[in-house]
Amino acid sequence: MSAAMAHIFHLQKFSVHDGPGIRTTVFFKGCPLRCLWCHNPESQKFDRQLLYDSAACTGCRHCVQVCPTQAITGSSGTTDLSQCSACGACIDACFTGARNIAGRFADVAGLLAEIEKDTVFYEQSGGGVTFSGGEPCCQIEVLEELARACHFRDIHVTIDTCGHVPFSSFERLLGITDLFLYDLKHLDPAVHQQYTGQDNALILANLRRLSAAGAKIHLRLPLVAGVNDDDPHIQAVIAFARTLHITQVSLLPYHRTGNDKYQRLGWSCPALSAPDPERLNEIKRCFSSAAFDVGIGG
């Protein structure tokens, strides 16, 4: 086994929302998109990042004393993020857990050992491992190695992707990936650019090619009120999805559970909302009427 290292920010056991059954989800750090509704904002940058919870800070100033770049000042632990190297020294000095680092390197052997610990749960529930992010395909070398090793061990492999990567990355995963969870944000390239920082040409092209290659795909639609939940857009998505080999559609209403992370990163929280429950059910009925297997959430 190689010495390849994956840059991840979280490993979640007993996940039930990232594919079928009970799963272990490995969250890779770094993403080419900057979706305004992202509920894991710490996943976006490829570098390690400091998250600071001011409410948990007691003002002990131990972090100030150990910071090698003098990025932390004052009794409140104010951090100049432009000076912070995310070295982790302040994490070790903090007794209250007010400081955390998003991002760590994990070797393939160690990750496989963690994944294999729950094999019995995968077998009983029809679960497996999901590689998510961020965008796992941005680390294609280590992702392919992990996916191949899991496939060899008869562990169901799911890859959660935004699709904004070279198609050559998907080609390397065909045959060793059981399911792709493919996010579709918006069909209009200008609107997509506005809300994600990238247009959607590559994403749509990859989705078409992945479908044509016979991959099993579950389409995931993040839904934000006033952005992509209107009737013309929903009907356009349905028409597009009918041209593809899509086995399931998941409607993912926007939620605010990640807003505290924005605050801890020192970022502004997005002023967005989910479609109301009645509208979500209307959208679900539209997909059901078009003969899609559709659910809300998951």
**pLDDT attached to residue 81:** 77
Same domain for 40 and 65, yes or no, is no
Do 182 and 207 form a contact (C-beta atoms < 8 A)? yes
**pLDDT attached to residue 76:** 66
CATH number for the domain that contains residue 54: 3.30.70.20
**pLDDT attached to residue 172:** 98
Do 59 and 77 form a contact (C-beta atoms < 8 A)? yes
Same domain for 198 and 68, yes or no, is no
Same domain for 168 and 62, yes or no, is no
Domain boundary residue among 84, 102, 120? 102
Same domain for 82 and 203, yes or no, is no
What's the CA gap between 274 and 252, in Å, rounded? Answer: 9
Same domain for 110 and 97, yes or no, is no
**pLDDT attached to residue 256:** 86
Domain boundary residue among 65, 85, 102? 102
**pLDDT attached to residue 257:** 83
Same domain for 275 and 154, yes or no, is yes
Reading the chain (298 residues) residue by residue, the pLDDT tens digits are: 566 899 999 999 999 989 999 999 999 999 999 999 999 999 999 999 999 888 888 888 889 989 999 888 876 677 887 788 889 899 989 989 899 999 999 999 999 999 999 999 999 999 999 999 999 999 999 999 999 999 999 999 999 999 999 999 999 999 999 999 999 999 999 999 999 999 999 999 999 999 999 999 999 999 999 999 999 999 999 999 999 999 899 999 998 888 889 988 989 888 899 999 999 999 999 999 999 999 998 7
**pLDDT attached to residue 1:** 59
Same domain for 95 and 169, yes or no, is no
CA-nearest of 295, 254, 244 to 275 is: 254
Domain boundary residue among 87, 102, 117? 102
Same domain for 67 and 144, yes or no, is no
* Residue-wise burial string across 205-229, b where 16 or more C-beta atoms lie within 10 A, e elsewhere: ebbeebbeeebebbbbbbbbeebbb
Indicate the number of domains in the chain.
2
Same domain for 68 and 25, yes or no, is no
**pLDDT attached to residue 127:** 97
Cβ atoms < 10 Å from Cβ of 266: 15
Distance of CA 262 to CAs 31, 154, 198, 274, Å?
16, 38, 21, 18
Pairing of strands 23-28, 5-15: antiparallel
Same domain for 153 and 275, yes or no, is yes
CATH number for the domain that contains residue 292: 3.20.20.70
Same domain for 182 and 263, yes or no, is yes
Domain that holds residue 154: 5-45+104-296
CA-nearest of 91, 47, 48 to 66 is: 91
Retrieve residue 121's tokens: 């749960």
Same domain for 91 and 130, yes or no, is no
CA-nearest of 28, 20, 17 to 162 is: 28
**pLDDT attached to residue 243:** 97
